[in-house]
Amino acid sequence: MVNPDRVQAANTSTVDRHSKQALNVAREKRDARQIRTRKIVLGVVSLLTSILIINALVGEQGVIAVMRARAQRTTLETVMNSLQKENYELRQLAVDLRTDPSTIERVARDDLGLISPGEQVLIIGEPRYSDQIATTK
């Protein structure tokens, strides 16, 4: 005769073994799902990070655009400073032309080629059209 305790023990051990196998399969599935989820999350985060880095470099307010804007600003500041200096000099010349007779005389002589009454102009050197005179001889 078969001992009922022994049959029950054999059934219990078989059930335990099947339970452990089922638990192991469930754990493996869970681990595989977690690994897949981690890979997907890592991929999405990597993609978003790449997009942000590219936008930071090339975008409308990116590093390259900021560097170009700084270079343009430096150039414009240089131009502005030279124009402000020229503006100051022209304003000073305008004031001097209104008030200083020697400035008026200097501009009349240098820029307009005028002379005072009784003066004679001496031109030293060859005339500007000397090459034309030499070819006609």
Q: Which has the higher per-residue pLDDT, 120 or 92?
A: 92
pLDDT at 41: 96
The reply to whether 47 and 65 lie within a common domain is no
127 Cβ contact list (under 8 Å, min separation 6) = 133
Q: Which has the higher per-residue pLDDT, 115 or 36?
A: 36
Angle between helices 63-99 and 101-110 (to 10 degrees): 110
Give the model's confidence band at 95: pLDDT under 50 very low, under 70 low, under 90 confident, else very high. very high
> What's the whole-number mean pLDDT along residues 38-62?
89
> What are the structure tokens assigned to 121, written together?
């102009």
The reply to whether 46 and 67 lie within a common domain is no
The reply to whether 69 and 51 lie within a common domain is no
Does residue 136 carry a pLDDT above 90? no
Nearest to 28 by CA among 16, 18, 17, 20: 20
> What are the structure tokens assigned to 53, written together?
């880095």
Residue with tokens 């414009």: 76
The reply to whether 67 and 27 lie within a common domain is no
* Distances 49 to 38, 44, 45, 55 between C-alpha atoms, Å: 16, 9, 6, 10
The reply to whether 54 and 3 lie within a common domain is yes
pLDDT at 134: 54
pLDDT at 9: 60
In a domain, residue 19? The reply is yes
pLDDT, mean over the chain:
85
pLDDT at 111: 87
In a domain, residue 128? The reply is no
Share of the chain above pLDDT 70, in %: 84
Give the model's confidence band at 123: pLDDT under 50 very low, under 70 low, under 90 confident, else very high. confident
> What's the whole-number mean pLDDT along residues 47-59?
86
> What are the structure tokens assigned to 100, written together?
């200083």
Range of the domain at 68: 61-116
Does residue 20 carry a pLDDT above 60? yes
